[in-house]
Amino acid sequence: MQFTLQANAPGTDARAGLIQTDHGLIETPIFMPVGTVGAIKAVHIREMKQEVKAQIILGNTYHLYLRPGLETLRAAGGLHKFNGWDGPILTDSGGFQVFSLSDNRKLTEEGAHFRSHIDGSKHLFTPENVVDIQRIIGSDIMMALDECPPGQSSRQYAAKSLDLTMRWLKRGWNHFRETEPLYGHSQTFFPIVQGCTFPDLRRRAASEVAELGAEGNAIGGLAVGEPTEVMYEMIEVVNEILPADRPRYLMGVGTPANILEAIDRGVDMMDCVMPTRNGRNGMLFTDHGIMNMRNKKWANDFSPIQEDGAAEVDRLYSKAYLRHLFMAQEILAMQIASIHNLAFYLSLVRQAREHILAGDFAQWKAWKVQEVTRRL
């Protein structure tokens, strides 16, 4: 993987760049749609390319390991061959999913012991075998195994958790360097900076991560219960230390405003389930504000969903029709809303990139945050 920094926005830490992978070029800043089990919920691969205009998607190690399983993925030739997506793929290590199974997991020096949410069977993720699993999945970018502590963790818990994460990181990093890809394309490994909401822990983690010299680095453990302003502060603390010549990936964030604020602070890559999850529940994000499509106010509004929207569905269907589909519990409603929201998110980061390159990102972002946070 190769990262080229193209421009910095005056008055901010926002930057535009290019990430070259064996499966294609990624223009940053970029939003990455989440395909947990190898599919973006309710959206075809064709639509991901033509309407959403996604450049990279995510898969999840925990879910893919459990279903369809490693034997099937290896036989298919990896996730690219299995799901038909020929662009870059990033896989999470499964650490966050194990964290969310707090009643069914146990963390030890060896790794994360957990029970499957599907059938209750026992499993173990170690720093080494999550590398092996991601080799079998065949992702272009793989993540280190970490513990994601709750946002309101005590300092004592956060410090102990970080110590374990950093010991796991060194083991995973060494194993990655001792193993080879399986399908003829290169893979890269991103360490994850943890440390909860404590600046000194975040600085220590970022320094140790930076010393590894990985091709990219991630910021984890945010948007998990801490106040938004604290999240922004932690991003600033970490990005002061993470190398500027490597992409920075903020994991699991967030709203359109969160994304713009993260870009402002030097983040290059982001992902979140929000556009699809909220879309399936009738919430649409647009360039002009947020719409709840179940509201009666849309019942006789026959104007397009968003006339200047990024996707064809924005002009093909009216607000009234989409509301009708939601009220009738028609599956098509979830598909239209998911495509719209994903296309909007990708359009938003494209706009941010254009304004970074043009040199007026700071002015544009201040106005845009107000626009995208309005309730329509």
Catalytic residue annotation: 92, 271
Q: Looking at the DSSP assignment, which residues form a beta bridge with residue 20? A: 2, 25
DSSP SS3 for 27: strand
Question: What is the residue type of 287?
Answer: D
Handedness of CA 30, 36, 37, 40 (dihedral sign): negative
Q: Cα dihedral angle (74, 76, 79, 84), rounded to 10 degrees?
A: 170
* Residue 334 contacts residue 341 (beta carbons within 8 Å): no
Question: In sequence order, which ranges of the chain are alpha helices (DSSP H)?
Answer: 45-47, 61-66, 70-76, 79-83, 95-100, 127-137, 155-178, 199-212, 228-239, 256-264, 274-280, 313-316, 319-327, 331-358, 361-372
Pairing status of strand 248-250 against strand 217-219: parallel
Looking up tokens 């990262």 gives: 3
Which of 163, 147, 256 lies closest to 201, judged by CA?
Answer: 163
